[in-house]
Amino acid sequence: MSLDTGKRYIVIGAGPAGLTAAKSLLAKGCRNVLVIEQDDVAGGISKTVCHNGNRIDLGGHRFFSKSDEVMQWWQSVLPVEQEDKPSDEEAFLVRHRLSRILYERKFFAYPVTLSMDTLSKLGGRRLVKIALSYALARLHPVQPEKSLEDFFINRFGRELYQTFFRDYTQKVWGLPCSELSADWGAQRVKGLSVTAVLAHAIKSIGKSLRKGTGGIAQKDVETSLIAYFLYPKHGPGSLWEGVAQDVQRMGGTILYKSRVTGLDYADGRIKSVAVAPTDSRDGAEETGHDADVVISSMPLRELVAGLRGSVPADVLDVARGLVYRDFMTVGLVLRRNGRLADLKDNWIYVQEPDVHMGRIQIFNNWSPHLACDRQTLLLGLEYFCSEGDRFWTMADQDFIAMAAGELEKIGLARKEDVLDAFVVRVPKAYPAYFGSYDKIGVLQKWLDGVPNLYPVGRNGMHRYNNMDHSMLSALRTMDCLADNGPAKSSVWQVNAEKEYHEEKQ
């Protein structure tokens, strides 16, 4: 399929979606591709932050996809290093996933497995409650399933939900699960259920008996159960910085530290994009860039607010009502001491209700190349928050002291072992499925009618998209741009499957 290579393409954002779009356009021969990025580096929320030689990931980014197209795309950028042939070249490592839940100061497997270890840690009384409440949920599921609480209870029973899901999920969203839409569970937990966990456990036993590892091709495994993933030696940002360099080498332009402040919208089309230096006040020093096609991964709320022209009131209302959840992480360098020192976990869900911390990343276990001194532990202590709240506005030193204190409180490390620490704030880490989200169809329909504007990515489409979905939205946009390509509305189908609706009962 061919597309018009002479058009002026503007891509907003140099995260996974924007860079995938830009590189694909250039690979197809487009000559005029301009990427506008407000940050000073590529990668978006999949970037890697470097502090005094220590590299941390914002979250932990597993490179895994059920799409062969994406798996091949990644491996066309970075080779996979063979375990027996280590080299100094940048490459993907194949990592084994281990993540557990910390609850009542004990570690439980995640996803929860029905092993002897789990059973003994839960104790007889709670096990009986779990079994009874699960049976009750199967016999009398909550119908209709409206909230995330209903979603969890129907799949796991009330007791298991309260033990392993409730507190962590409330930390993520800052709202009780009864006020969250079931859609989030559908996207996040996909087809996971007690039945899926049991089936997976039985299959894994069979596999280990046959001495197979399953490798990285685990297409038929529920997303929450994926056991292996790829990870760039120096963090996800190294892959995306490499893609950004490819874009420039192929003739594209990336304007860093440049923020899109508005889009001129007239006669039903985008005519031009207004750009100002990121640090300029109120869009001072704005310059206009004429565009034939705009591919946007900037947050949908800001995109619509920035349209300069006549936009229907209901569209503006829905856009204005979209809500995001923000995220802070404390990069912590520690002496190798205490309970954390020998753990193999990539990350730990902190389900303890007496601390605010949501998750702990142990970056040494993502890649040994992230910590500049391999004798130290490199952690990410993650907090979910809202821009402007008391966490967001806390001075860095106070925030670090609080986070290190919480780590000590849950018995994992001592404050005096902290060698270095820094704070990273990540605005709009999560597009929320509340606010005006239930009316997002109004917005999608209207945007489908603007023929040269293509929203892509996570916040760009306001969908809980991982990197692969964000990239697929850019790749499907390429299909739409081609002569006789599908309608642009088809891009909304990426990551739209609600597997729980068709769960194998």
Question: Interface with ligand FAD by CB under 6 A: which residues?
Answer: 12-18, 36-39, 44-46, 58-62, 259-260, 297-298, 302, 327, 429, 457-460, 465-468, 470
Burial class (CB in 10 A: 0-12, 13-18, 19+), 313: exposed
Nearest CB to ligand FAD, comparing residues 320 and 415: 320
118, 148, 212, 330 from 187: Cα distances, Å? 26, 11, 29, 27
Helices 166-173 + 148-156 axis angle, to 10 = 160
Q: Which two tokens stand for residue 449?
A: 């009618």
Nearest to 67 by CA among 467, 431, 346: 467
- In three-state form (DSSP H/G/I as H, E/B as E, the rest C), the secondary structure along 481-504 is HCCCCCCHHHHHHCCCCCHHHHCC
Nearest CB to ligand FAD, comparing residues 54 and 329: 329
- For 57, phi then psi, to 5°, come to -100, 145
Residue 12 CB, nearest approach to ligand FAD (Å):
5
Is the CB of residue 256 less than 8 Å from the CB of residue 37? yes
Nearest to 110 by CA among 216, 197, 20: 197
Nearest CB to ligand FAD, comparing residues 58 and 315: 58
- For 87, phi then psi, to 5°, come to -140, 175
Is the CB of residue 265 less than 8 Å from the CB of residue 271? yes
* Residue 175: half-sphere exposure toward Cβ, Cα within 13 Å: 18
130, 306, 490 from 362: Cα distances, Å? 31, 39, 39
Residue 59 CB, nearest approach to ligand FAD (Å):
2
Residue 139 CB, nearest approach to ligand FAD (Å):
36
Residue 179 CB, nearest approach to ligand FAD (Å):
21
- Helix, coil or strand: residue 28: coil
Nearest CB to ligand FAD, comparing residues 157 and 235: 235
Nearest CB to ligand FAD, comparing residues 49 and 260: 260
Residue 398 CB, nearest approach to ligand FAD (Å):
22
Residue 44 CB, nearest approach to ligand FAD (Å):
2
Residue 466 CB, nearest approach to ligand FAD (Å):
3
* Residue 121: half-sphere exposure toward Cβ, Cα within 13 Å: 18
- If you ran DSSP here, which 8-state letter would residue 372 be given? S
- Helix, coil or strand: residue 76: helix
Nearest to 459 by CA among 426, 482, 425: 426
Residue 406 CB, nearest approach to ligand FAD (Å):
18
- For 20, phi then psi, to 5°, come to -65, -40
Q: Which two tokens stand for residue 321?
A: 């009502």
Nearest CB to ligand FAD, comparing residues 17 and 371: 17
For every residue of 183-216, DSSP letters joined together read HHHHHHTTT--HHHHHHHHHHHHHHHHTT----S
Residue 221 CB, nearest approach to ligand FAD (Å):
15
Residue 171 CB, nearest approach to ligand FAD (Å):
12
Nearest CB to ligand FAD, comparing residues 15 and 185: 15
Is the CB of residue 18 less than 8 Å from the CB of residue 46? no
Residue 237 CB, nearest approach to ligand FAD (Å):
10
For every residue of 400-439, DSSP letters joined together read HHHHHHHHHHTTS--GGGEEEEEEEEEEEEEE-SSTTGGG
Residue 465 CB, nearest approach to ligand FAD (Å):
5
Task: Tell me how far apart the alpha carbons of residues 80 and 37 are, in angstroms, rounded to a whole number.
Answer: 29
